[in-house]
């Protein structure tokens, strides 16, 4: 099994443009942005998907959302609005099997997405 690319980013074995970091959460710019602001927010500890959250690790979601709030303020999208996306599983569009949230903003985001 190959190593998880997001774990390698969290371990600083793969370079990324980090915009937020604390003890449990890392956030970095998406390499193929879909909006002027497109940040990936991950737990540093590997959790494969939303379906792998449990009583022991669910608090990571509130930590991620606190980070998202800080990042939205830093990038001046807190007042204009933004989108948070968590894909789950192959059919849900999850391409990296490590729980992560896409923070998108900086333009009018239509629904449904294209």
Is residue 38 packed enough to be buried (19+ CB in 10 Å), middle (13-18) or exposed (0-12)? middle
Q: State how far the Cα of 34 lies from the Cα of 106, in Å rounded to an integer.
A: 10
Q: Which one of 38, 98, 100, 102 is the catalytic residue?
A: 100
Task: Assess contact for 42 and 10: CB atoms under 8 A.
Answer: yes
Q: Encode 60-92: b = buried (16+ Cβ within 10 Å), e = exposed.
A: bbeebeebbebbbeebebeeeebeeebbeeeee
Please say if 100 is a catalytic residue.
Answer: yes
Active site residues: 100
């Amino acid at each position: 099994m190959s190593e998880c690319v997001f774990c390698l980013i969290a371990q600083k074995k793969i370079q990324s443009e980090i915009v937020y970091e604390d003890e449990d959460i890392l956030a970095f710019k998406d390499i193929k942005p879909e909006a002027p602001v497109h940040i990936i927010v991950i737990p540093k500890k590997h959790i494969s998907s939303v379906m792998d959250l449990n009583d022991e690790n669910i608090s990571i979601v509130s930590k991620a959302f606190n980070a998202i709030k800080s990042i939205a303020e830093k990038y001046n999208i807190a007042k204009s609005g933004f989108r948070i996306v968590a894909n789950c599983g192959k059919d849900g569009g999850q391409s990296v099997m490590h729980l992560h949230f896409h923070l998108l903003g900086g333009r009018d985001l239509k629904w449904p997405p294209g």
